């Protein structure tokens, strides 16, 4: 695997782990809503994830990441339509999709390091 592809996979994993750290074990939606800095930090990590997926797709399209277009679309929404973010939808992404993406990326990193 190209070193750049490895770095991008690691960037995705690092951002996922950062989101997990911001939220802690409780994963409380109302606490999330109440903390602007937490929301902004998570939005930034989602931007990084989306941009890394976009770059990965352009340099190594053979590396399969599920829901590439949705991940990139979320990045675009957060960047370009920041004033129209639906935090319920964002929360759904955080609690349902990010854990699945984490497992997928960890698997890809393991497979690529063999």
80 catalytically annotated: yes
Round to whole Å and give the CA distance between 47 and 42: 9
- Which of 80, 96, 97, 110 is the catalytic position? 80
Instruction: Clarify whether 75 is annotated catalytic.
Output: yes
DSSP at 63: S
Residue in 36, 40, 75, 96 annotated catalytic? 75
3-state helix, strand, coil in the chain (%, to 5): 80, 0, 20
Tokens representing 99?
A: 């854990």
Write out the catalytic residue numbers: 75, 80
């Amino acid at each position: 695997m190209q070193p750049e592809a490895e770095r991008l996979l690691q960037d995705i994993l690092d951002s996922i782990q950062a989101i997990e750290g911001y939220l802690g074990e409780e994963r409380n939606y109302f606490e999330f809503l109440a903390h602007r800095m937490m929301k902004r930090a998570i939005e930034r990590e989602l931007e990084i994830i989306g941009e890394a997926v976009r770059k990965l797709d352009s340099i190594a399209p053979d590396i399969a990441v599920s829901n590439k277009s949705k991940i990139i679309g979320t990045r675009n929404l957060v960047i370009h339509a920041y004033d129209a973010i639906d935090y319920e939808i964002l929360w759904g992404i955080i609690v349902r999709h990010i854990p699945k993406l984490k497992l997928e990326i960890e698997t890809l990193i393991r497979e690529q390091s063999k």
